[in-house]
Chain A
Amino acid sequence: MPRNWLAATGNSPPVADALRQALAIAGKDLAIEWRTKTALVSSLAFAILVLAVLFFARDPTAVSALDIAPGALWVTFTFAAMIGLNRAFLLERENRAMDGILLAPVPPGAVFFGKLAANLVFVGTVELVSLPLFVLFYDVGLERGLLPLLGVTAMATLAFVAIGTLLSSMVVRTRFAELMLPLLLLPFLVPPVVGAVQVTARILAERPLSEVAGWLKLLAAFDIAFVTASTLLFRATLEE
């Protein structure tokens, strides 16, 4: 990595600079995670545990595994993501590393997008690894539904990771940070998770996506509203 990676070069447009800086921050976070793998391994193990426990959390004579499969998948995704989300800013709290980032000539938007990108890669990895296990455990057929399912997963994940990134930047500076993130984040998970569960249920039942057009619109609107709001509000959580 060149030493002047974070510095604006002066001869490239500001957007390109901000993008490069965001990528540098995301790369730094992912490199730290890749070297320790603590959060990744614990989130993955947690995801597998939740999938397995939820399989038995029903009356097998009355409710088939397929009936609870969409809900189980999304409870797993969101809870596993929540475990990982605190990590992004906990890293910066040690040795007051955040001060270093704030001292660098990097706009807050670039810091936010860097953190968001690293979190998206992290949560996306957990989801991509737990999805085959979900197919295996719940015996669902995904021959035709795989691409739509990946699509709706991306939409819902973007929404709650954006809000989660913003909220985790605040809660790491409070007492009981690990307790505070779920308390603040869960109300915001209602629209994306309910929507994603509805769409997933239709995909698993091999119904046409036109049946859930309303939900897809809701997810898209939620993404736009909260990625924008989180980006704008992030500045307010930073300044000293």
Chain B
Amino acid sequence: MTRDRAQALARRGSLLTAAALLGLAGVYVRALVFTPIERFQGPAQKIFYVHAPAAWSALLAFAVTGLLSVLYLWLRDRRLDLVAAASAEVGLAFSVVMLTTGPIWAKPIWGTWWTWDARLTSTLFIFLLFVGYQVLRGAMVDPDVRARYSAVIGILGLVLVPFIHLTVYLFRTLHPDPVVMKPGSPSLPGEMLVTLLVSLGVFTLLYLGFLAQRYALGVLRDLQDEEASRALS
């Protein structure tokens, strides 16, 4: 990809992000003003409209990284590695939103900031695994070696996730916890469902906007590195 095309992609990404941020403002207004207050959880339930979509975007981002890692080792296309890395970084940002809004909601509803429930534990360890992924990328200079090693971690992560989930599930069935509860009832009333779906859409757009910008940045950085090494030789 040339510098011009990368810059054009970055501009399109920032437009998409701006649109998604406007949408996010709309989600806040709709969730706070035009969506009924949940009968049992009260106003605290509103955080669900940010928390669940952020979790969706984070897991989508990590799944994309895992799949692109498989594709990279197969096709060896540098762009696949750059998109995978961009997706992992964006996923970390959404994970931080997920992991901070979760406890804020859990304290009034569950009565505790944190519980070792299957989903919480899995997401925490996926988050930590991708922190390791980023640190590994940062510690390597050669782009080809970096791409191969990152792909290996991405694929191992894909295999690990179901095992962590199963582990916590087995752990919990041995020690049943009376406060285990689903973050949201599966059958939401119509107005709440609409708010959630709108928010899911907005967060997906936000993910795509961030991804496009981060990918364009990765391409530009690669081009700069190449120019620098050409200038030196």
| A133-191 interface (Cβ within 8 A of B) | 163, 166, 170-171, 173-176, 180, 183-184, 186-188, 190-191
**Interface pair A233/B152, CB less than 8 Å apart:** yes
Is the Cβ of B151 less than 8 Å from the Cβ of A187?
no
CB–CB B132/A218 < 8 A: no
Q: Does B136 contact A (CB under 8 A)?
A: yes
Q: In the bound complex, do residue B139 and residue A170 qualify as a contact, i.e. CB atoms below 8 Å apart?
A: no
Contacts of B145 in A (CB 8 A): 173
Determine the main DSSP class of A at the interface with B: helix
Contact of A180 with B136 at beta-carbon distance under 8 Å, contacts A188-B156, A222-B163, A229-B156 already known: yes
A226 CB-CB contact with B under 8 Å? yes
Which B-chain residue is minimally distant from A221 (CB atoms)?
Answer: B163
Are A187 and B73 neighbours in the complex by a CB distance under 8 Å? Answer: no
Work out how many contacts link A and B, with CB atoms closer than 8 A. Answer: 79
- Write the nearest CB–CB distance from A108 to chain B, whole angstroms: 13
Residue pair B174, A198 in contact (C-beta under 8 Å) = yes
Asked whether B167 is an interface residue with its Cβ less than 8 Å from the other chain, the reply is: yes
Q: Say yes or no: B132 contacts A166, CB within 8 Å.
A: no
User: Closest B-chain residue to A171, C-beta based?
Assistant: B136
Q: Are B139 and A236 in contact (CB under 8 A)?
A: no
Complex contacts, B34 vs chain A, CB 8 Å? none
* A233-B163 in contact given A175-B139, A180-B135, A180-B136 (Cβ < 8 Å): no
Quick check: A236 and B166 within 8 Å, CB to CB?
no
Does A112 interact with chain B (Cβ within 8 Å)? Answer: no
In the assembled complex, how far is the CB of residue B176 from the closest CB belonging to chain A, in whole angstroms? 15
A32 contacts B by Cβ under 8 Å: no
User: Which residues of A have CB within 8 Å of B128?
Assistant: 186-187
Q: Tell me, rounded to whole Å, the shortest Cβ–Cβ distance linking A70 to chain B.
A: 13
A176-B139, A214-B170, A218-B170 given; A187·B148 CB < 8 A = no
Binary per-residue interface labels of chain B (46-84) against chain A in the complex, 1 for a CB within 8 Å, 0 otherwise: 000000000000000000000000000100000000000
* Interchain Cβ contacts under 8 Å between A and B, 10 examples: A166-B156, A173-B145, A180-B132, A183-B132, A184-B132, A188-B156, A188-B160, A191-B163, A229-B159, A233-B156
